[in-house]
Structure 1
Amino acid sequence: MNDIAQSLRGWTPDDPGSEAAVEFVTLASELTEVVSSHQVGNERFVVGFNWDTTNGPPGTHRAFGLHASFAPDTGRCHVRARSTPTFGWAGHWLVGRGADPRAVARYRPVPENPYDEPPEYRTEGLYSGTHYGLARPGGRTTRLIEDRVRRCGDRYRILRSNSAYPSFFNGEREANFVLLHDRHPQAVSRRFVIQLETITVKRTTYAITEGGFHTLAQARHWLDRIDARAGTVPPLPVTDPATGLAPRGIPAPVRGRATPVQSAASVARRTR
């Protein structure tokens, strides 16, 4: 993050929030990793990764967005930072503040030797799934979902985010989820969405899968069925990656006994 810290030198923060954000990127510049950065006029937009979160509890928000605007006539800057569960959601926050969604999506390549290891000790992939800042989208579906997230405006409301399972259980993959309420008018039959982001350690990539549920209880029940120690998850209901809606021809889920997922009443009894 040294280039971002450098760009803020000589500018005076114009309020306490800006002071806190500038302190974050200047005093801990070695603990932050720039994933994406672009400038529009006197405004700069950054998607980043906070290395300080790697020792935190599973589910800690590791991505963040940073927005800085500069007033050359006064020498002052207005800076805000927001931690988010994923890079896509950091981009969403920045787009809401005027960032170009295409520029936000241009992630910097991962350094060839990110850990500065001598050739004889080079590690294949990541040391850990917590090193999320060195992973990049692994396929078209993931990029489509991220692009929709960045451009979705107020369509979704984040209800919860957490770890699905950490990489230290099996060393190969790590997964985190975001539970959403979808306010799209065509999502009336699947208002609750789970986005599961899985990091593959050896490939330094992550993949996002997504599914919509009729009720919040059904979505929570799906989360309860994740086998964290085995690193396995049940199949998600089919969702179109570009729209986030059920594909045409897929019947809407039915409330009650006809649904393949446990009812809200039975879930409540099980969790008492």
Structure 2
Amino acid sequence: MMPDIYTVVASHQSPDRTEQFIVAADRSAASAMTGTDRATAVHLRLDPDARTCHLRMDSAVTYAWAGHWLVQRGADPRALAAYRTVPADPYNLGPEEEFNGLLDGGDYVFTRPGDGTTLRIENRIRRSGSRYVLLGRQMAYSYGFSGGEREANWALLLDRHPLATGRRFLLQLETIHLRSATYSIAEGGFPTKQEAEGVLRRIDPRAVAPMPATDPVTGLAPARQPVPPRTAGQAFRPLPPTGPARGR
């Protein structure tokens, strides 16, 4: 791989060492409204008998979707979830220059998941097999529109899970937070593609667009929380006393 263009983020090697699965950041992906994919999946297979190697690559909008492509080809999803640590001084500014965060929204290579919800959604994406059909993806807004605070990309999916009836269209919004060098994923399920696209048109760089919530583990509607049983005192309350009726 070309280190000036691709940086390894996570990897898995087969037990017999003949296959290498790599999730990499594509540093050539410009921070622009073109919807350029920021991640790349690399599958390298060696054939010792023929003394040859086979290389396959695929671009993806996020690390998780790059991992999904590799899992489909035999990679261990647990290994691809073990992201490599970002260098303490990623820009090589030296000890005299202290800087926290990202200089540019396009520096996706230096970001990592920032919360548990994001980790659970990513895990589902990698293991989702043929469940989802990608209908579209693009940049939601660049870091310039948020005053240098964040940058976001969206992916619109068709969910073919049998229990996704009434919520077939899944919208995922991945937001890069420049100050913390992390990213988070928010998603919502919609009954129609038009409703999901309506939310896309209303995305505001200053806040996450409200979306019908999903369970981050299943991607379906959140399970209804059971109503706690009422105690005897709560279940029976005598009516307040009433005074005598007034005559007319």
Q: Residue in 1 aligned with 2:194? A: 217
- Name which of 237, 248, 251 aligns with 2:212: 237
Determine the C-alpha separation between the residues in 2 that align with 1:173 and 1:236.
19
- Name which of 107, 115, 120 aligns with 1:144: 120
Contact conserved, 2:104 with 2:178, CA < 8 A, in 1?
yes
- Name which of 180, 199, 203 aligns with 1:203: 180
Q: TM-score, normalised by structure 2?
A: 0.86
Q: Residue in 1 aligned with 2:12? A: 38
Count of residue pairs brought into register by the alignment: 222
Aligned residue runs from structure 1 range 73-222, under 5 A:
73-169=49-145, 170-222=147-199
Q: 1:52 is paired with a residue of what secondary structure?
A: coil
Determine the C-alpha separation between the residues in 2 that align with 1:112 and 1:249.
43
Determine the C-alpha separation between the residues in 2 that align with 1:174 and 1:234.
14
Name whichever structure is richer in helix by fraction.
1
> Deviations along 1:169-190, whole A, 9 cap, x unmatched?
2101111110000000000110
Structure 1 residues 55 and 182: alpha-carbon distance in aligned structure 2, compared to 1, 3 A threshold: closer
Instruction: Give the letter aligned to residue 9 of structure 2.
Output: V
Determine the C-alpha separation between the residues in 1 that align with 2:63 and 2:208.
22
The alpha carbon displacement at 1:232 in A equals 2.9
Determine the C-alpha separation between the residues in 1 that align with 2:91 and 2:153.
24
The alpha carbon displacement at 1:234 in A equals 2.2
| CA RMSD, Structure 1 to Structure 2 (Å) | 1.3
Determine the C-alpha separation between the residues in 2 that align with 1:49 and 1:154.
24
The alpha carbon displacement at 1:139 in A equals 0.9
Contact conserved, 1:176 with 1:198, CA < 8 A, in 2?
yes
**What fraction of aligned residue pairs are identical, expressed as a percent?**
49
Unaligned runs of 5+ in 1: 1-24, 251-272
The alpha carbon displacement at 1:196 in A equals 0.6
Higher gyration radius (CA): 2
Contact conserved, 1:225 with 1:233, CA < 8 A, in 2?
no
Q: 1:29 is paired with a residue of what secondary structure?
A: coil
